[in-house]
């Protein structure tokens, strides 16, 4: 069949993409002009050009939607409480490599379309493009198992609408702008004022009723129990009360927009300076269901530092102790999964998380796949990588402002002083990884003096021409992430 199709089209056929439905054969092909959807047989409902027995179609949103209608396994779906991992793809090329990594293991449910509004804004992509790029990548790899799509770090109700329209199945609400981190150091009088100023109407509650629910009560967590005195309760309420109210508004907006469609919710309070204690976690997880919110995963701000692109920074014994407390709360009040955000490259904690959480875990990765792309480029196009590294060093101080990073660009070797063979090693440096990590948006969108993209097309073209090198790098790197959580096939 492949040989026949290649003779008919004159194109290279991705062998795993062959699929049959309703009397037609669908396949993905590549030629000098890039990839195309091929159809042997009835191509009704697709936009394309007929060439004898076949129809060749551009990879447009309309054709991606039509293909999902024909091949239902290409539609994202809710994954429930299965152990899961999310794979951000800032370039739109990584899904085949991600799929190959997941194939090596069992018991991990993948989320192949995962992007935040912030990341889309910085790369000039849309929710629909992210979902469609994942669709084409999965079709290319012949992926037929369930997979999900995560609308990541939604901060406003309007943020969610484009993801709803595109067909996402998991919605990660980020109420971080409404978390009062100053509560940790506030005086008792200040905490009292903060509690009194909470939006009690939106919380459908009063301070007195809240105290009746918590004070003097033992919350059984199996091998341990949690209690609240008035100060601890008020600090938890002052810190997270407005965030809870915002989450409720977001959830109800989603439920209204999704109508009868199934969807899942993740609640994320990870991007804060102060950790979430197990008691504060319990408060959040008690208040949300009282207000009708149902969720599949929750991302606390764990103890230690979860900086972008590098391993965990902190005391592993303390992390293990605190994480065990979070697991106990998730089991007792759920069960639901604990979501590890900025989970890329946190190799030192993966065994701890896998052992304590068992199946109740979601690992979220993103920027590490972009770094793997740059690592490949450093080997195949040293000149381009040098330009990107020099530009990233110039942009870092501005770009770092919205990320948790601590790299010192002065510790990154100047690109002009490195031999070609030394360039990939920059991606093994703490400071080099973070400098390159947080500048992805500028690299993808900056224009040259003639109004053309300075790096975008060259970067994507280099990776497309060397796609197997990129897929192999991703399979190995993401496999290292997944191995502690999974059973090898």
Catalytic positions: 152, 266
Rounding to the nearest 10 degrees, give the CA dihedral for residues 87, 153, 277, 330.
Answer: -60
Give the span between the Cα atoms of 24 and 42, in whole angstroms.
Answer: 6
CA distance linking residue 432 with residue 424, whole number of Å: 10
- Rounded Cα distance between 282 and 161, Å, is 30
Count of other CB atoms within 10 angstroms of residue 201 = 9
Provide the total of helices (H) and of strands (E) in the chain, helices listed first: 19, 18
What is the Cα–Cα distance from 319 to 353, expressed in whole angstroms? 10
Instruction: Give the separation between CA 453 and CA 201, rounded to whole angstroms.
Output: 50
Tokens 């980020």 correspond to 174
Q: Are 375 and 98 in contact (CB under 8 A)?
A: no
C-alpha closest to that of 459 among 390, 381, 393: 381
Select from 474, 445, 473 the least CA-distant residue to 459. Answer: 445
Contact at 8 Å (CB) between 306 and 404? yes
DSSP assignments along 321-357, one per residue: HHHHHHHHHHHHH---EEEETT-TT-TTTHHHHHHHH
Per DSSP, the three-state class of 224 is: coil
Q: Which residue has tokens 């309070």?
A: 269
**How many angstroms separate the CA atoms of 197 and 199, rounded?**
7
> Which segments of 1-53 are extended strands (E)?
12-13, 19-21, 24-31, 34-40, 49-51
Q: Among candidates 184, 220, 485, which has minimal Cα distance to 362? A: 485
404: which 2 tokens?
């948790």
Q: Are 264 and 78 in contact (CB under 8 A)?
A: yes
| CA atoms of 392 and 406, how far apart (whole Å) | 15
Cα–Cα distance for residue pair 47/58, rounded to 1 Å = 7
- How far, in Å, CA of 466 to CA of 461, rounded? 9
Q: Is the peptide bond before 96 cis (omega within 30 degrees of 0)?
A: no
Nearest to 8 by CA among 47, 36, 45, 46: 36
């Amino acid at each position: 069949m492949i040989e026949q199709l290649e003779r008919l089209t004159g194109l290279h056929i991705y062998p795993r993409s062959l699929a049959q439905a309703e009397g037609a054969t669908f396949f993905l092909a590549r030629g000098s002009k890039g990839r195309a959807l091929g159809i042997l047989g009835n191509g009704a409902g697709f936009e394309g050009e007929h060439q004898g027995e076949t129809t060749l179609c551009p990879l447009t949103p309309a054709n991606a939607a039509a293909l999902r209608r024909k091949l239902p396994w290409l539609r994202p779906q809710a994954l429930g409480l299965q152990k899961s991992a999310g794979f951000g793809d800032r370039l739109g090329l990584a899904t085949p490599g991600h799929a190959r990594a997941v194939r090596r293991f069992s018991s991990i449910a993948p989320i192949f379309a995962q992007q935040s509004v912030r990341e889309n804004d910085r790369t000039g992509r849309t929710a629909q493009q992210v979902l469609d790029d994942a669709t084409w990548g999965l079709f290319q790899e012949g992926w037929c198992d369930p997979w999900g799509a995560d609308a990541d770090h939604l901060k406003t109700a309007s943020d969610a609408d484009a993801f709803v329209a595109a067909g996402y199945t998991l919605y990660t609400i980020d109420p971080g702008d409404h978390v009062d981190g100053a509560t940790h150091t506030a005086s008792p009088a200040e905490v009292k004022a903060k509690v009194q100023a909470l939006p009690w109407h939106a919380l459908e509650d009063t301070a007195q009723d809240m105290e009746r629910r918590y004070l003097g009560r033992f919350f059984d967590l199996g091998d341990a129990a949690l209690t609240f005195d008035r100060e601890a309760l008020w600090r938890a309420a002052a810190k997270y009360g407005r965030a809870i109210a915002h989450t409720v508004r977001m959830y109800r907006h989603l439920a209204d927009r999704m109508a009868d469609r199934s969807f899942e919710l993740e609640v994320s309070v990870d991007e804060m300076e102060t950790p979430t204690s197990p008691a504060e976690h319990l408060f959040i997880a008690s208040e949300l269901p009282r207000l009708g919110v149902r969720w599949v995963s929750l991302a606390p701000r764990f103890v230690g530092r979860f900086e972008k692109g590098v391993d965990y920074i902190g005391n592993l014994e303390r992390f293990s102790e605190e994480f065990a407390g979070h697991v106990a709360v998730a089991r007792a009040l759920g069960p639901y999964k604990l979501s590890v955000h900025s989970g890329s490259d946190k190799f030192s904690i993966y065994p701890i998380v896998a052992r304590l959480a068992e199946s109740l875990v979601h690992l979220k990765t993103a920027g590490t796949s972009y770094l793997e792309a740059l690592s490949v480029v450093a080997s195949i196009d040293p000149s381009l990588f040098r330009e990107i590294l020099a530009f990233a060093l110039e942009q870092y101080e501005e770009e770092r402002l919205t990320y948790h990073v601590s790299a010192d660009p002065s510790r990154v070797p100047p690109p002009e002083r490195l031999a070609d063979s030394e360039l990939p090693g920059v991606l093994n440096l703490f400071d080099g990884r973070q400098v390159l990590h947080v500048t992805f948006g500028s690299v993808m969108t900056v224009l040259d003096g003639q109004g053309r993209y300075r790096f975008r097309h060259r970067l994507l073209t280099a990776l497309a021409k060397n796609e197997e090198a990129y897929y192999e790098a991703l399979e190995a790197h993401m496999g290292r992430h997944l191995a502690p959580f999974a059973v090898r096939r």
